[in-house]
């Protein structure tokens, strides 16, 4: 007898589970129940549809061949029944049945299953403030939201908008609306945008966002939506500031959509997501759960986490779909939470733990480095990357990598992710055999160079100082000698303006007499990216200076205002 497989949810994880189940078992009766009208939506593409990177809405719903994945497609191409605009009301675990309701006709339907896969996704978090009911307030969580914002873009009637939340979706929406010519303000309650980054890199991203004419307010939350005649006219912030606007996009995160599972008595975890094992089985062995509604194991910390990423949803769906029909041993072990977003001409990515997250997770014996360098040679139009690597000292294993800039961030994060997943140490990574040709990378790729800097630091060959630490010394007027070893032309073009002294590296050996005579005086060396700064520091240490540090990343990693 053919197995009956029912999938609740038709966004990413659900259809993937159904498709994998079909490929493993051609006889199974597979049904997808989807509350919305659309199926298999590329939700991560919503901001780019709103921005006008493409105009055909169906591209968000199409297979790679261009065919729209609607119920007709699923039944004809895959032999899978897809019931859209149908809501699951109840799961009867004892009888192994689900009760459904057609949203348009209110017709009731009861279906039996052998295995059930829950893929109900996530719901947008909403702020507990007055005025949420006003016209002009939206999220960007659904196709309906994307259609609404795309119409606003096309109509070109909205002049001012605010985005509540400076995370992934908030920043991607910021670009989309700014490209539509809307006067935009991003409001983030925390002290920085993109909290998966450490502050320095997040500040570099913030500076880039501001350079694109968007206003950014951090450390200040939303207190109230202001309305007139039922329409949004502004927002009030927690410090009392009022900003006029006709549109507000709420992007403060998502929460697992678990009500149908919880009502059926399925175990819900500490993060609010459905508890699953590596086979994606729930507390009921005949029910699986996948995607944004589940909690996962963080493979670095061992703790539970919520990881609402489209790629993970597909991987989880593949595992659950196979196991549901085969009773097999396909597994999804967990996540290191790798992510990336486009920020105008920048990208910002992370894999593993930031320094902040590592310390919060209990890692105390860690080392970090910041590296700024191009992704390929200047003669091949190389673009800047600023990376921060976090390593566990005792093992030499990478705990995390962050990278921002206009260069190829995705490549750096992908290499970092594979290094973490593979448990590779710095001593292995410094000799990584990567593809090299000038159109694609430097001879020593940025990632390997970051590993070299880390190896030097762990070996005591380099003593670094971060931008924040250097700024603190300057602000406190500490007695520190700041040495810029760039050339005079570079110095005239741009400089920090924090009391630095210019002695070009090529002249340093002959001008050592100009340095402080006290060999114990703190000295900080830097240049554009601090490669020359490191060479200067090695020279000074050879000459007996005992307190020499390198400003990691140099001028290109300086997140504060510069003199020029």
Q: Does domain 345-458 have CATH number 3.30.390.30?
A: yes
Give the pLDDT of residue 328: 83
Which CB contacts under 8 angstroms, 24+ apart, belong to 148-153?
149/50, 149/173, 149/176, 149/177, 149/249, 150/49, 150/50, 150/57, 152/180, 152/247, 153/50, 153/51, 153/52, 153/177, 153/180
Location of structure tokens 């694109």 = 212
Q: How far is CA 4 from the centre of its chain?
A: 37
Residues 6+ apart with CB under 8 A from 487: 504
∠ CA 313-109-40, nearest 5°, is: 25
φ, ψ for residue 320, nearest 5 deg: -65, -40
**Beta carbons of 517 and 545 less than 8 angstroms apart:** no
**Beta carbons of 282 and 274 less than 8 angstroms apart:** yes
**CA proximity to 300, closest of 164, 204, 420:** 420
pTM of the entire predicted model: 0.95
Cα gap 552→89, rounded to integer Å:
56
CA distances from 300 to 196, 418, 423, 425 (A): 15, 13, 10, 14
Eight-state DSSP code of residue 275 = P
464-557, what's its fold? Oxidized Rhodanese; domain 1 (3.40.250)
Task: Give the span between the Cα atoms of 12 and 363, in whole angstroms.
Answer: 34
Q: At 210, phi and psi to the nearest 5? A: -65, -35
Length of the chain: 564
Alpha carbon of 507 to those of 216, 514, 542: distances in Å?
A: 42, 11, 16
Residues 146-162: b if buried by 16+ CB within 10 A, e if exposed: bebbbebbeeeebebbb
How many whole angstroms from its chain centre is CA 52? 22
Please give the pLDDT value at position 422.
Answer: 96
Residue in 376, 335, 374, 375 with CA at minimum distance from that of residue 353: 335
Which fold would CATH assign to domain 137-252? FAD/NAD(P)-binding domain (3.50.50)
Which tokens is 355 given? 């320094």
Class of the CATH-defined domain 4-42+56-122+255-326: alpha beta
Encode the chain (564 residues) as per-residue pLDDT tens digits.
Answer: 799 999 999 999 999 999 999 999 999 999 999 999 999 999 999 999 999 999 999 999 999 999 999 999 999 999 999 999 999 999 999 999 999 999 999 999 999 999 999 999 999 999 999 999 999 999 999 999 999 999 999 999 999 999 999 999 999 999 999 988 999 999 999 999 999 999 999 999 999 999 998 999 999 999 999 999 999 999 999 999 999 999 999 999 999 999 999 999 999 999 999 999 999 999 999 999 999 999 999 999 999 999 999 999 999 999 999 999 998 899 999 999 999 999 999 999 999 999 999 999 999 999 999 999 999 999 999 999 999 999 999 999 999 999 999 999 999 999 999 999 999 999 999 999 999 999 999 999 999 999 999 999 999 999 999 999 999 999 999 999 999 999 999 999 999 999 999 999 999 999 999 999 999 999 999 999 999 999 999 999 999 999 999 999 999 999 999 987
DSSP class per residue in 188-210:
ESSSSS-TTS-HHHHHHHHHHHH
CA atoms within 13 A of residue 123's CA, in its CB half-sphere: 9
- Give the C-alpha separation, 224 to 227, whole Å: 10
Residues in CB range of 1: below 8 A, 6 or more apart: none
Dihedral of CA atoms 369, 375, 377, 380 in degrees, nearest 10, equals: -170
Q: Can you read off the two tokens belonging to residue 307? A: 């990881």
| DSSP-derived 3-state class of residue 291 | helix
Rounded-to-integer distance, Cα 259 and Cα 277, Å: 20
The domain spans of the chain are 4-42+56-122+255-326, 137-252, 345-458, 464-557
Q: Are 4-42+56-122+255-326 and 464-557 equal in CATH topology?
A: no
DSSP string for 93-161 = TTTTEEEEEETTT--EEEEE-SEEEE---EEE---S-BTTTSBTEE-SSSHHHHHHHHHHHHHT---EE
In degrees and rounded to multiples of 5, residue 236 shows phi and psi of -110, 130
């Amino acid at each position: 007898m053919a197995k009956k497989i029912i999938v609740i949810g038709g966004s990413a994880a659900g259809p993937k589970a159904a498709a994998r189940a079909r490929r493993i078992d051609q006889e199974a009766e597979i049904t997808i129940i989807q509350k919305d009208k659309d199926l298999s939506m590329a939700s991560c593409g919503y901001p780019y549809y709103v921005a006008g990177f493409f105009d055909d809405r169906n591209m968000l719903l199409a297979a790679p061949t261009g065919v729209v994945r609607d119920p007709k497609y699923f039944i004809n191409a895959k032999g899978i029944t897809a019931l859209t605009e149908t809501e699951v009301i109840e799961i009867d675990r004892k009888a192994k049945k689900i009760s459904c309701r057609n949203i348009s006709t209110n017709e009731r339907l009861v279906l039996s299953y052998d295995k059930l896969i829950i893929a109900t996704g996530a719901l947008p978090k909403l702020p507990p403030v007055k005025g949420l009911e006003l016209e002009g307030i939206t999220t960007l969580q659904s196709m309906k939201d994307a259609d609404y914002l795309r119409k606003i873009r096309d109509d070109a009637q909205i002049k001012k908008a605010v985005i509540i939340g400076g995370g992934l979706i908030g920043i991607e929406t910021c670009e989309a609306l700014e490209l539509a010519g809307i006067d935009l303000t991003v409001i983030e309650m925390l002290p920085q945008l993109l909290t998966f980054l450490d502050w320095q890199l997040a500040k570099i991203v913030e500076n880039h966002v501001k350079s694109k004419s968007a206003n950014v307010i951090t450390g200040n939350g939303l207190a109230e939506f202001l309305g007139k005649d039922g329409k949004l006219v502004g927002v009030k912030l927690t410090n009392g500031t009022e900003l006029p606007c006709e549109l507000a996009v709420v992007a403060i995160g998502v929460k697992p959509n678990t009500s149908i599972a919880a009502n059926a008595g399925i175990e819900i975890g500490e993060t609010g997501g459905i508890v699953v094992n590596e086979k994606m089985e729930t507390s009921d062995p005949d029910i699986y759960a996948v995607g944004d509604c589940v909690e996962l194991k963080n493979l670095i910390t061992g703790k539970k986490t919520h990881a609402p990423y489209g790629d993970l949803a597909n991987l989880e769906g593949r595992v659950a779909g196979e196991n549901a029909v085969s009773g097999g041993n396909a597994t999804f072990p967990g996540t290191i939470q790798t992510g990336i977003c486009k920020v105008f001409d920048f990208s910002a990515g992370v894999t593993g733990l930031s320094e902040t997250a590592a310390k919060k997770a209990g890692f105390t014996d860690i080392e970090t480095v910041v590296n700024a360098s191009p992704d390929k040679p200047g003669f091949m139009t190389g673009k800047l990357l600023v990376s921060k690597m976090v390593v566990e000292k005792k093992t030499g294993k990478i705990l995390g990598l962050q990278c921002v800039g206009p260069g190829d961030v995705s490549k750096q994060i992908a290499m970092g992710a594979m290094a973490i997943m593979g448990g590779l140490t710095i001593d292995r990574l410094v000799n990584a055999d990567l593809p090299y040709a000038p159109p694609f990378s430097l001879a020593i790729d940025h990632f390997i160079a970051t590993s070299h800097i880390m190896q030097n630091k762990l070996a005591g060959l380099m003593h670094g100082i971060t931008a924040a630490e250097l700024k603190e010394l300057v602000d406190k007027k500490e007695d520190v000698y700041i040495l810029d070893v760039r050339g005079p032309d570079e110095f005239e073009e741009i400089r920090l303006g924090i009391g630095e002294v210019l002695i070009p590296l090529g002249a340093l050996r002959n001008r050592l007499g100009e340095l402080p005579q006290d060999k114990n005086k703190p000295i900080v060396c830097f240049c554009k990216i601090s490669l020359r700064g490191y060479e200067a520091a090695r020279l000074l240490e050879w000459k007996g200076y005992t307190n020499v540090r390198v400003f990691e990343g140099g001028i290109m990693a300086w997140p504060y205002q510069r003199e020029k």
